[in-house]
């Protein structure tokens, strides 16, 4: 359990570091000259890579990742809330049953 928690923490921190680097560097890559003055000809692979980078930049500009994470957190919160509600309902039902049994014994 502890080892899994440590591994998960390392994974989350590493993933966060990669995302942090991408967020910082993608806008710089997008702002590079588009006219080919860098000495690289516009090859099919380079155009494809540029389009991918633009797509990733747009992904971060629109904060899609943040939206997805917050939506996931909201769904998980609602699931936990419904489970807690069910448990509380069961506990109250048992308490009422015990109260009735005690009243019947008197």
What is the tens place of the pLDDT at every residue in 6-24?
999 999 999 999 999 988 8
Q: What are phi and psi of 39, to 5 degrees?
A: 95, -5
Per-residue b/e over 14-31, b at no fewer than 16 CB within 10 Å? eeeeeeeeeeeebeeeee
Using the predicted structure, report yes or no on whether residue 98 has a pLDDT greater than 90.
yes
Inter-CA distances, 99 with 31, 78, 86, 90, 94, Å: 72, 31, 20, 14, 9
pLDDT score of 100? 92
DSSP summary character for residue 32: S
CB 50 within 8 A of CB 26: no
Q: Taking the complete model, does pTM exceed 0.75, yes or no?
A: no
Angstrom distance (rounded) from CA 53 to CA 93: 57
């Amino acid at each position: 359990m502890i080892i899994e928690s440590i591994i998960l923490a390392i994974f989350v921190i590493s993933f966060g570091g990669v995302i942090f680097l991408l967020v910082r560097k993608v806008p710089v890559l997008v702002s590079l000259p588009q006219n080919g003055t860098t000495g690289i000809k516009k090859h099919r692979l380079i155009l494809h890579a540029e389009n991918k980078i633009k797509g990733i930049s747009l992904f971060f500009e629109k904060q899609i990742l943040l939206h997805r994470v917050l939506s996931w957190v909201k769904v998980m919160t609602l699931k936990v809330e419904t489970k807690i509600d069910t448990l509380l309902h069961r506990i109250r039902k048992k308490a009422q049953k015990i109260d009735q049994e005690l009243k019947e014994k008197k």
